[in-house]
Chain A
Amino acid sequence: MSDPKTSGPQANEAVTEAAIPERTPGRLFKIWDSDVAYSFRTSPVAIISGVVALAIILAALLAPWIAPTNPFDPASLNLMDGFTPPMQENAFTGNTFLLGTDNQGRDMLSAMLYGARISLFVGVSAVLLAMVLGITAGLIAGYRGGWADAVLMRIADVQLSFPSILIALLIFGVARGIIPPSQRETMAIWVLIVAIGLSDWVQFARIVRGATMVEKSKEYVQAAKVIGAHPFKILLRHILPNVMGPVLVIATIGLALAIIAEATLSFLGVGVPPTQPSLGTLIRIGQQYLFSGEWWILLFPAVMLLTLALAVNLLGDWLRDALNPRLR
């Protein structure tokens, strides 16, 4: 849109308003007709990555119904099925698997669907945690300024000077020290979420702080102050909705990063236990057999991880462009 004065729905003052009959389009139509939706419809990259991401997410969510076997159920596993190549008959059992099996005879397809489920769950939860932490810190730092800002942002700076995977490892290590060994298996996934979430809040805090500082000097915030609205209300009801745009962009890109972080941690062996393999765990297992010729154990989960992360990332990129105020 070239000229901001000309875009958007038409509005005229009293006189012309009477001349032009009011049409009230439905809510669905409004969404379909919005600039963001239009930008999506006209961007092939956005559509393709959206479809791919949606397909993987749906497949992961529906894993218990569409997966051929339940890889978490030890009773269904037959060690004799191990190392069956894709689309080939197993020499001992005669079973065929679309994407082959791993060392324990798990069907790769099922393991991947269940694995993607865990990866996505960890990724989404970690991003949500990072979002809540980051938005809170960013709002406070940006709105209060002064020492609150100084303290929060110095913490953020310090954390940013370490690689986030290192932070996650550190948190993971500390948590392991605290949690009794008997609960480590069950707690592993939650520790993973906290570790990734805590290592990722800085991005949100920074962007929210910047946007808050811009918004708080705008006249609508001053108007709310003149009315005597509580600072808490000003932050949540006035400022927060106006800083959510960039947060959504960061969150989408952050989701791709969190999924990769989970995979990295699991690959390093500090993630979810092999009994409940995520994509990262599957890759770690596969990597052990790569040089002995069982390539499929590594390749298929890796491709899936890559596709998912790439699709989500491209969506994030598109969202950033679509929400760019210059183009609205």
Chain B
Amino acid sequence: MADPLIEVRGLGRRFDVSKPWLNRVLEREERQYLTATADVNFSIARGETFALVGESGSGKSTIAKMIVGLLPPSEGQILFDGQDMGKVGTSELRALRRRFQMIFQDPFASLNPRWRVGDIVSEPLRTFGLAKGAEVTREMERLLDTVGLSARDAEKFPHEFSGGQRQRIAIARALSAKPEFIVCDEPTSALDVSVQAQILNLMRDLQDEMGLTYLFISHDLSVVRHMATRTGVLYLGRLVEVSEGKSLFRDPQHPYTKMLLDAVPDLALSGRRRTPVTGEIPNPINPPSGCPFHPRCPVAIDKCKTDVPPSFQTPNGSAACHLLG
């Protein structure tokens, strides 16, 4: 890729889910680890929207948290604009932090209920020292206007707003740091569809105006298809397929992607007979050996049970499946 803004190399994260020490000793149990993500590689170019799609336990939120620095990675590197985030000093990290922001899933939890909207939106301005005195207010009011709220909303508290308006406030807060890159973790999954459309359109408009780069995380394939310029599919913490544009939805390569697309309820009423989906996502504490998808895969071969498949080139990207090798 010509000019990646974010590059993720071999990113992995394990969580210690062991019982307390005393229980372990008494019950003679080993330490237990949950591998939330393993060996994830991708890069995001400036101005694009890279989407990560996956079901529960796929590790998509863990990746988001590692990228914005809420969780330290267990292994691998995250490079922002060429700088390894794990190696830069505190002052450089602080400068880097301003350049990426995050929008959260639940607009009812992501705004401090005791703060006025104006204070919420201007917090990044003050923290990063981007404005002083009356400038702060002016900038904050401009941001509220940008996201479709009015300046007099600054005096109100979050509970006075509907879900969609709260998500607008959260977007205004993210924008106030003047970031280049925004991680959006399920930004519309708590909203009703008609409001979701407003927020998705707003995010599109802002991207066009400000040249933002998005990492868009969602479980909703239709939303991802609408937003993404490139899409990665996660299954049990591993990236199973990455594909350019809408080709993922037209021509899925990995059996899991195919299954996922088949499972989406069909609004077009095409009456297609879909292949019945079988099985459920296994417990990530004891993931299957080899390819994590093999127990549910209709086309699995013996090799899938033993070897983790490497990533192979596909016409529009890459996919980790032995059958493509």
Direct contact of A and B (CB under 8 A): yes
Question: Which residues of A are interface residues toward B (Cβ below 8 A)?
Answer: 8-9, 11-14, 17, 22, 218-220, 222-229, 238, 241-242
Q: Is the CB of B160 within 8 A of A223?
A: no
Q: With both chains docked as a complex, state the minimum distance between the C-beta of B112 and any C-beta of chain A, in angstroms.
A: 4
Nearest chain B CB to A102's CB is how many angstroms away? Answer: 50
Instruction: Name the residue on A nearest B173 (C-beta).
Output: A223
Q: Cα distance A207–B69 when bound, in Å?
A: 29
Q: Nearest chain-B residue to A230 (Cβ)?
A: B127
On whether the beta carbons of A223 and B110 are closer than 8 Å, the reply is: yes
Instruction: Write out the residue numbers on chain A whose beta carbons fall within 8 Å of the beta carbon of B311.
Output: none
Docked Cα-Cα span, A269 to B159, in Å, equals: 52
- Which one of A222, A226, A238, A241 has the highest number of Cβ atoms from chain B below 10 Å of its Cβ? A226
Contact A224 B101 (CB under 8 A): no
Complex contacts, B65 vs chain A, CB 8 Å: 222
Q: CB-nearest residue of chain B relative to A244?
A: B114
Q: Which residues of B contact A220 (CB under 8 A)?
A: 109-113
Select B160's contact among A8, A14, A242, beta carbons within 8 Å. Answer: A8
Can you list 18 A-B pairs with a CB-CB distance of less than 8 A?
A11-B161, A13-B165, A22-B152, A218-B110, A220-B110, A222-B70, A223-B102, A223-B110, A223-B170, A224-B112, A225-B70, A227-B101, A227-B123, A228-B97, A229-B127, A241-B112, A242-B112, A242-B113
Q: Among A8, A226, A242, which residue has its beta carbon within 8 angstroms of that of B102?
A: A226
Instruction: Establish whether residues B127 and A228, one from each chain, have CB atoms under 8 Å apart when the complex forms.
Output: yes
B68 sits at the interface (CB 8 A): yes
Q: Which parts of B88-133 form the interface with A (CB within 8 Å)? A: 94, 97-98, 101-102, 104-106, 109-114, 123-124, 127-128
Bitwise interface map of B from 199 to 210 toward A, beta carbon under 8 Å scored 1, else 0: 000000000000
Q: Is there an interface contact between A14 and B102, defined as CB atoms closer than 8 Å?
A: no
Residues on the B chain within 8 Å of A225, using CB:
69-70
Interface residues on B, range: 35 or more
The answer, yes or no, to whether B148 is at the interface (CB within 8 Å) is yes
> A238 CA to B162 CA in the complex, in Å?
22
The reply to whether B148 and A14 form a contact with Cβ atoms under 8 Å apart is yes
Q: Which residues of B contact A (CB under 8 A)?
A: 65, 68-70, 94, 97-98, 101-102, 104-106, 109-114, 123-124, 127-128, 148, 150, 152, 156, 159-162, 164-165, 170, 173, 177, 198
What residues on A are CB-neighbors of B104 within 8 Å? 219, 222-223
CB distance from A277 to the nearest CB of B (A): 43
Q: Which residue of B lies closest to A225 (CB)?
A: B70
Give Cα distance in the complex from A223 to B105, angstroms.
11
Nearest-neighbour CB distance to chain A for B87, whole angstroms, equals 18
Q: How far is the CA of A218 from the CA of B65 in the complex (A)?
A: 13
A224 touching B123 by the CB < 8 A rule? yes
CB-based contact B162/A11 at 8 Å: yes
Once the chains bind, are B97 and A13 in contact (CB under 8 Å)? no
Min Cβ gap B175→A in Å is 12
- If A13-B198, A222-B102 are given as contacts, then 9 extra A-B residue pairs at C-beta distance below 8 Å, sorted by A number, are A14-B148, A22-B152, A219-B104, A220-B110, A223-B104, A227-B127, A228-B98, A229-B123, A242-B112
A227 contact set on B, CB distance < 8 A: 97, 101, 123-124, 127-128, 177
Task: Return the chain A residue nearest B97 by Cβ.
Answer: A228
**Chain A residues positioned under 8 Å from B106 (CB to CB):** 219
Q: Which residues of B contact A17 (CB under 8 A)?
A: 150
Closest beta carbon of chain A to B120's beta carbon, Å: 8
Q: Which residues of A contact B124 (CB under 8 A)?
A: 227
Please, how many angstroms separate the alpha-carbon atoms of A30 and B150 in the complex? Answer: 22
Q: Residues of B contacting A223 with CB < 8 Å? A: 102, 104, 110, 170, 173
Residues from chain A with Cβ under 8 Å of B162 in the complex? 11-13
Asked if A8 contacts B159 (CB within 8 A), the reply is yes
Once the chains bind, are B160 and A11 in contact (CB under 8 Å)? yes
Which chain B residues lie closer than 8 Å to A11 at the CB level? 156, 160-162, 165
B159 partner residues in chain A, CB cutoff 8 A: 8
Provide the bound-state CA to CA distance between A224 and B161, in Å: 20
- Are A219 and B152 CB-contacts (below 8 A) given A13-B165, A226-B102? no
Q: Report the minimum CB–CB distance from A246 to chain B (whole Å).
A: 14
Contact present for B102 and A228 (CB under 8 Å): no
Q: Given that A223-B173, A226-B69, A227-B123 are contacting pairs, would A13 and B164 also be in contact in the complex, using a CB cutoff of 8 Å? A: yes
Residues of B contacting A222 in the complex (Cβ-Cβ under 8 angstroms): 65, 70, 102, 104, 110
Given contacts A11-B161, A223-B102, contact A238 B112 (CB under 8 A): yes
Partner of A226, one of B68, B114, B164: B68
Complex Cα spacing A95 to B173, Å: 74
